[in-house]
A and B are shown apart, each in its own frame.
Chain A
Amino acid sequence: MRKAQHSGRSPNTNQRNQATRETVTRFFAELAAAGHVPTFERNSATLRFDVRGDDKSAGETAERWYVAVTNGDVTVSRRNGSADAVVRIERRCLESLVTGRLNAQAAYLRGLFSCEGSMAAVIMFQRCLPGPPGSTGRIGPLTSAQVMAERRAG
């Protein structure tokens, strides 16, 4: 798995930052448009994402996303309110999460984001994240002869 990269300055940096911002914005817009997420049903929680930017001022919050879940219904805003869980994360890392290139649990264990407050809210939220690009769930069958041949070889 690729880790979220800390970019150096390059001619494409601004362009890439722009694309990252758009991907994150699109994810939350789609979540808001869905309005209801079945896997969140009978769950209610609020999460605030304090997103750090991409350049040298990376320590400061560049944008905020506020997700409120009420029994499966989802609203998204940019407000700076108190929340059950406050997630502090770099924009590039958030982009990796919302595109399925980075697993949320692995990212948390690696210290790529921090969570203040309810861990349960974060675990709930990660259920709406997509799987890795390229995962199809399909694999060709193996015959008994192949299995036995592998065993003899191994």
Chain B
Amino acid sequence: MSDRLVQILEGNTFVVSDDRGDIEARAEDPTGLFSFDTRFLSKWVLTVNGERLTALSTDDLQYFKSRFFLVPGTGTVYVDATLTVIRQREVANGFHEELRVLNHRDKPVDLRIRIDAASDFADLFEVKDALKKKGKYAHRVVDGNLVLRYFRDTYVRETWIYSSERAAVDERGLEFAVTVPPHGEWATELDVLASDGEQHALAGRRPAHPNMARGLEKWLDRAPRMECDWQPLEHIYRRCLTDLAALRFSTLTMPGRSLPAAGLPWFMTIFGRDSIFTSLQSLPFVPELAATTLRALAERQGTRVDDFRDEDPGRILHEMRYGELTAFEERPHSPYYGNADATPLFVVLLDEYERWTGDTKLVRDLEQAARAALAWVNLYADLQGNGYISYQRRKAKTGLENQCWKDSWDSISYRNGDLPGFPRATCELQGYAYDAKIRAARLARVVWHDDSFADQLLKEAAALKRRFNKDFWVADGEYFAVALDSDGRQVDSLTSNIGHLLWSGIVEASKARAVARHLMSPRLFSGWGVRTLAEGEARYNPIGYHTGTVWPFDNSFIAWGMRRYGFKDEAAAIASGIMQAAEVFEGRLPEAFGGYQRSMTGYPVQYPTACSPQAWSTGAPLLLLRTALGLEPHDEHLLVDPALPDLIGNLELLDVPGRWKRMDAFGRGRIDTRRFTAR
């Protein structure tokens, strides 16, 4: 996305405009006002006496608010500086815009101020593909307000545009004929509301959210306070918390509560996998995100077999969308269930959440959901009848090919670059299943009081671990295969997926050392972090999306896995590498960066992606803080077992929330990580 575009958002409503505040959507420039995955304004252009304006400066005041200082004229050399136009815009249910025109002359001035407005009501999915709309448009003027309308059968979307000052309104915009007194000012307030039919708009003008700024302050205040010798970390920490605030998203069923959406702005929706991983990462800091994520996912847990949506009973959703293509079932996102990891991870999060917060009520409320998820793992996910989770989409046209986190088409390959058939059983899925069973057994004993279920789960887990360590172990390489193919054959490339296995605890103790050694070897560890695919494999490419880049989120879970098996130095090295990358990216880690050897480029090379911030990249430094400090809930206490890289020096994390109310954690960086990071 081009740098000159300005984005502000609140929940799943966002505005992307140019630096003047104007919106002129084109296929290559996806600007507009978007809400619920629909574009409600594709044109919003301000002119004064028929002239466009030029930006003097643009301030992103907050993630939901921006201000544009403008002057008339578009000349690059000369601008008429006798007028200033200030637009201040805040996102709410649509947006609220304050438009002020200042006359700097000592004479009155007559102005024709016009805003051209239009909407194509494109579905987010259509924006980049420039698909043709199937419905009709009907714009009209109602009581002096402009209403843009799109309808297709019973599907209706409207944009209502109100002005506090009287305007001459036609179907293409609003015009003000005003006289601004000498050294005086003229102003109007504009409200643009997104609506799905007349009844909503008739409810009247909704004011912009008045407490948004205070809400952000409170959010930052509630999180633990961090102090550290290494200054960049304080900045990174604050950036992460602020970005997490921006990524908060409320569902229609739980308006007052929020969960982490996947990415800003195009992925402001529930993604099972992303919301769960981000909730896990942020548990020690903002535990309420996990609670809302669990409830929202349970509400929409699969209950039937639906091939179009890849839905099965017990399955946790993949992605939820609200646009026209979803409404007319041209896309399956209502919701779409095509992932193979969110379901066991749902159980993992439920247990981890209870260990931190002691909120047994939620665990009781979600008992049925957890049992259904575990049943999915055993029944519906076992596509090959071999006791492993596999995936294969049921609709080739609309389903997802790879239903694991590495979801691009070439992410799973043999050493020689060939792609395996379907169903595919990737290794980390088996780890998640193992962990889900172990953790559910604890919940069954402690909260559900069902010992026989707990026993059964432990038995299943032990059997799974035994089989897995045999079937997936690549003997000549001493690591775990990335997957089993449709013939049960090993997909034998060396990947970062083996790090997730450490996190899940499915790796036999005798094999852990070899796995850790591979992860930190020059083939996988770049000096910044662990690559998705090892150097030397046929598809390795340092800028291949899942075939060589370094993913901060991936690394944060690998570090957690390292700690689980006692590899403190290795965990510290990953924390050190990723934190230093975060410093270069000014606190905001991208989704992925290049897998080039660190000494080759000297700085991490950003992989171009449309979304920033990305939720699980935002959560990565938080999880790395946890693993570096060795924070672990134990009964009613918080255990602290620091293993910090020496880069960080002294670190204090104060008021860590949990079942112990609030506790402080301290650590001093003593681990020299240069043998890994100086590469």
CA distance A105 to B307 in the complex (A): 16
Q: Which residue of the partner chain, among A109, A112, A120, A146, contacts B299 with CB atoms under 8 Å?
A: A120
Q: Contact between A144 and B304 (Cβ–Cβ < 8 Å)?
A: no
- Asked, given contacts A109-B322, A111-B156, A111-B197, whether A137 binds B421 with beta carbons under 8 Å apart, the answer is no
CA distance A144 to B485 in the complex (A): 8
Q: Contact between B328 and A106 (Cβ–Cβ < 8 Å)?
A: yes
Q: A103 an interface residue at 8 Å Cβ cutoff?
A: yes
Q: Which residue of the partner chain, among A3, A111, A123, A132, contacts B306 with CB atoms under 8 Å?
A: A132
Q: Contact between B305 and A137 (Cβ–Cβ < 8 Å)?
A: yes
Chain A residues with Cβ below 8 Å from B326 are 105-106, 109
Q: Contact between A105 and B392 (Cβ–Cβ < 8 Å)?
A: no
Q: Contact between A146 and B334 (Cβ–Cβ < 8 Å)?
A: no
Chain B residues with Cβ below 8 Å from A127 are 301, 303
Q: Which residue of the partner chain, among B328, B419, B421, contacts A110 with CB atoms under 8 Å?
A: B328
Q: Which residue of the partner chain, among B364, B384, B392, B418, contacts A142 with CB atoms under 8 Å?
A: B392
Chain B residues with Cβ below 8 Å from A120 are 253-254, 299
Q: A153 an interface residue at 8 Å Cβ cutoff?
A: no
Chain A residues with Cβ below 8 Å from B421 are 141-147
Q: B311 an interface residue at 8 Å Cβ cutoff?
A: yes
Q: B378 an interface residue at 8 Å Cβ cutoff?
A: no
Q: Contact between A105 and B334 (Cβ–Cβ < 8 Å)?
A: yes
Q: B80 an interface residue at 8 Å Cβ cutoff?
A: no
Q: Contact between A131 and B299 (Cβ–Cβ < 8 Å)?
A: no
Main SS of chain A's interface residues?
Answer: loop
Q: A10 an interface residue at 8 Å Cβ cutoff?
A: no
Q: How many A-B residue pairs have CB under 8 A?
A: 118
Q: Contact between A147 and B328 (Cβ–Cβ < 8 Å)?
A: no
| Number of residues on chain B facing chain A (CB within 8 A) | 49
Q: A42 an interface residue at 8 Å Cβ cutoff?
A: yes
Q: Which residue of the partner chain, among B155, B305, B308, contacts A136 with CB atoms under 8 Å?
A: B305
Q: Which residue of the partner chain, among B252, B304, B327, B485, contacts A106 with CB atoms under 8 Å?
A: B327
Chain B residues with Cβ below 8 Å from A147 are 419-422
Q: B365 an interface residue at 8 Å Cβ cutoff?
A: yes
Chain A residues with Cβ below 8 Å from B304 are 100, 129-131, 135
Q: How far is the CB of B409 from chain A (nearest CB, A)?
A: 8
Contact with A along B280-312 (1 / 0, CB 8 A): 000000000000000000011101111111011
Q: How far is the CB of A60 from chain B (nearest CB, A)?
A: 18
CA distance A137 to B254 in the complex (A): 31
Q: How far is the CB of B526 from chain A (nearest CB, A)?
A: 28
Q: How far is the CB of B321 from chain A (nearest CB, A)?
A: 9
CA distance A137 to B305 in the complex (A): 6
- Asked, given contacts A39-B372, A106-B334, whether A128 binds B303 with beta carbons under 8 Å apart, the answer is yes
Q: Which residue of the partner chain, among B254, B306, B392, B420, contacts A144 with CB atoms under 8 Å?
A: B420
Q: B367 an interface residue at 8 Å Cβ cutoff?
A: yes
- Contacting A at CB under 8 A, from B308-348, are 308-309, 311-312, 322-324, 326-329, 334-335
5 residue pairs from A and B, CB less than 8 Å apart:
A111-B153, A111-B197, A132-B308, A139-B392, A144-B420
Which 3 pairs show the lowest CB-CB distances between chains A and B? A131-B304, A109-B327, A120-B253
